[in-house]
Structure formats: C-alpha cells, structure tokens
Amino acid sequence: MTEPTGPLDGIRILDLTNILFGPFAVQTLGDWGADVIKVEATTGDGWRYSGQFRNRGMSGQFMAANRNKRSLALDLKHAEGKAVLRRLIPTVDALVTNVRPAALARLGFSYEACQELNPRLIYAAATGFGQDGPWAARPAFDEIVQAASGFASAIGTDEEPAFVPSLVADKLCGLMLTAAVNAALLRRERSGRGQLVEVPMLETLAAFNSIEMLGGHAFVPPVGPAGYKRLKERRPMRTKDGWLTMLPYSGENWSAFFEAVGRPELINELEVKDPVLRARNIDKIYDRMSEIALGRTTAEWEELLLAIDVPHAAFAKLTEIAEQPHLKAVGMFVELDHPSEGRIRQARPSTRFSEGAIGVRRMPPRLGEHSKEVLRELGYSDAEVASLIESKAVGVLS
C-alpha cells in the first residue's frame, strides 16, 4: 500500500463508529489521506457479520465501508481499555462517533471530558435525532429515518409508503458527516479551537427530501399539493430487447424527440414546449413514450438519442456494474488482493484532486489487526502491551 498523499495527509481521525452511517463517513476521510484509527469492541463492529463473506467477521459490506483504517480492539468497560482511549484522544484531530451520547458519557467520553484531554479536538457526533428534541435518546436505523422524514411517503404515497431498497439515509447522512468534519477542521485552523459537531439523521434526511418534495407546501398557505409529480411518473422504458431510460428535459429536447420518432403532432398535443404545461401533462407524455419505446431496440434508441442530444442511459445490472461502459473506462471498480480475504472488488474513491493522489492505501482491517502497532505508537512497552492483551482490555488479531 502507498503512503498517503491526499488533502487530509497529516490529519488523524479516531473512528468510534459502527455499522454504516459513521464508518462510511470516516472511510471517505481515510480515502482523502487521513490516518484513521478504528476503535472497535473486542467482539467487533456488528457490520463485520452482516451480508456475505468468505471468513466470518469480514463481510463484503464491512470491507466496502472500512478501508484505509487501522483496527484497535478495546473493551471500553474495562478500566485499562478506557485508559488506552484517554491516551489516544490527545493524539488525534477529530473523534467521530455514532455511539449514543448518553452511553458514551457513561463511559467517561462525553464531549466535555474529551475536550479536557484535547482542547483542539473536533468531536463529531453522528446521531439519529437532534439532541435538543424529544427523540434524542431513541435508537435510529435507516428505515426508521426513511419513515419519520417523509422519505418513504415520497417514494410511495401517503396512503401506502415504501422504502428505498438501499441504505440511503445512512449513506447520505454519512456524506454530510464527512463534510461537517472537514468544515470544523477548517474552522479550527482559523480559530485554534476544537468544537462539537452534530449530524442528526432525521433532520438531515428531512431537509434533503424537502427540496423538491414540499411542492406546493413550500408556500404558506400551500399553493398546491406536496410532492413532485414528474418524479412519480418516471419509469423505465421497455424497448424491443431490453430497458432504457430516456429523459428529454427541455422544450427543445422534447420537440427534437417527437420529431425524430415521426410524431411531431404530439409536440402541440402534449404541450411539451411550455415547462408548466409539460409538468401538468407528464403522465400522458410518459404514456406516449412507453408506447413509442417498444418500436426500437436499446442500441437503436441509444444511437438515435445520442444523435439528437437527448439524455439517456441503458440500465446496468448489479451483476454487471463493473462492465458499464463509462464506469469501466474510468476504472471505477478495482480488484484488490486482501491478505486474508483473497481477491476482492470495490468501488474506488470517486473524488479526484489535482494535487495528491488518493486511493486504497490500507486494506479493510481484520479485528484488532493494528492494536499492537497503535499501542506502541502511544508509548506502551512490549510488557505493557502483553499485559493489556492478557487482561482482555485489548483485543488483537487472532
């Protein structure tokens, strides 16, 4: 693995997160060059055991959210395990946690306690719900947040809500958490002071959902119904031999589309030139498109739509995503040799910086793989390390 050269080279992150929301956010910090120390219970992050795996504790899902990290296994209910963490905190720039604040405070690692150990510390709390609200102490999971934010109602209907079959709340909020940590680090460079950062899942997804989904309720009093009708009408188009999404967007796009398929009368009939009228007729427009789409193969449609500059894409199967033409050309999916898991496939970091290469510097860690290494960096002697392991305050790779 290569040495870090990304924009966060020289920044050290203490990762006290588990499952997906926090780990995904911190992985991005690691991808961008930060030295990440992942502190896990001696039983491991629960995400290690979720999904498919070759070896227990190293699931594909865990590995996809925990590369570019070192694993230190600690029992934080053990006095000596707590002592290790207290020694580690002054050495880091940011602590990121999705342990519920009350539970962390009981262990002795509240924001105030950690700030005493390191006044420059960025303490980033990934919470389910804002800590000034009535749901502050509740546990939160992706479907809980999709439900409570109105997101599931937007995907389905008020009468029959539906979940997105993806952990969208965890991943979206993870991106916001990454941004918040970086913003706080920048502020610290100017002020010299650390601070508490909170990213609550419910508030984050509700704000995200509201941008287009408030609809007429963006006004007081409402000027129309909530929701965005065009999105409800979006649908895959069946072709002669497969599926395609085609998205004429502007009035010019729609006119070019209906001219090209030999149906110019639909331009006026469906009022596609005017964006307001087009939005009102979107269900009828998509009905016509569905009928027209059956007349050509996917390849024939791609050739035609490219020629008239109408946005489109063939559907990629999950089993073939690495072969999607654009993603394959840019090398989006990489194959790596993991020391215990063999050949693995991952999506590389999607962000690129003109100064400093980023990528996979460290393979997803096995539980406790770096415990001895981190303890020695903190100044523990070999005898002290052996004692910590013997007492089970520290776990090591078995």
Residues in the chain: 398
Residue 3 has a pLDDT of 57
Looking at residue 269, which CATH number applies to its domain?
Answer: 3.30.1540.10
Structural domain includes residue 219: no
Structural domain includes residue 276: yes
- What pTM was computed for the model? 0.92
Could you tell me if 145 and 294 lie in one domain? no
Could you tell me if 134 and 186 lie in one domain? yes
CA separation for the pair 151, 187 (Å, rounded): 32
Buried b (16+ CB within 10 A) or exposed e, 348-378: bbeeeeeeeebbbbbbbbbbbbbbbebbeee
Could you tell me if 99 and 54 lie in one domain? yes
Structural domain includes residue 32: yes
Could you tell me if 21 and 60 lie in one domain? yes
Q: 10-residue block means of pLDDT along the chain (398 residues)?
A: 75 97 97 97 96 95 97 97 98 96 95 97 97 94 96 93 95 98 98 97 96 93 89 88 92 94 94 91 92 96 95 93 95 96 95 89 96 97 97 94
Tell me the pairing of strands 312-314 and 243-246: antiparallel
Could you tell me if 33 and 112 lie in one domain? yes
Could you tell me if 364 and 303 lie in one domain? no
Residue type, 396: V
Residue type, 303: E
Q: Which of 262, 291, 314 is where one domain is finished?
A: 314
Residue 362 has a pLDDT of 95
Looking at residue 204, which CATH number applies to its domain?
Answer: 3.40.50.10540
Could you tell me if 186 and 241 lie in one domain? no
The residue segments making up the domain with residue 309 are 237-314
Could you tell me if 156 and 76 lie in one domain? yes
Could you tell me if 383 and 243 lie in one domain? no
Q: Give the CA distances from residue 310 to residues 236, 255, 286, 299, 339, in Å, rounded to whole numbers and listed in that order.
A: 16, 10, 15, 14, 46
The CA dihedral of 258, 263, 268, 272, to the nearest 10 degrees, is -20
What's the domain count of the chain?
Answer: 2
Residue 85 has a pLDDT of 98
Residue 231 has a pLDDT of 78
Structural domain includes residue 331: no
Structural domain includes residue 217: no
Could you tell me if 310 and 351 lie in one domain? no
Structural domain includes residue 90: yes
Encoded tokens for 276: 């307001």
CA separation for the pair 364, 54 (Å, rounded): 14
- 223 backbone dihedrals φ, ψ, rounded to 5°: -100, 0
Structural domain includes residue 321: no
CA 380 to chain centre: 36
Encoded tokens for 242: 């497969």
CA separation for the pair 33, 8 (Å, rounded): 5
Answer yes or no: are the C-beta atoms of 134 and 164 closer than 8 Å: no
Could you tell me if 249 and 131 lie in one domain? no
Residue 230 has a pLDDT of 77
Closest CA to 46 of 31, 60, 62: 62
Q: Which of 267, 292, 314 is where one domain is finished?
A: 314
Closest CA to 65 of 31, 96, 40: 31
Answer yes or no: are the C-beta atoms of 111 and 125 closer than 8 Å: yes
Could you tell me if 155 and 206 lie in one domain? yes
Structural domain includes residue 327: no
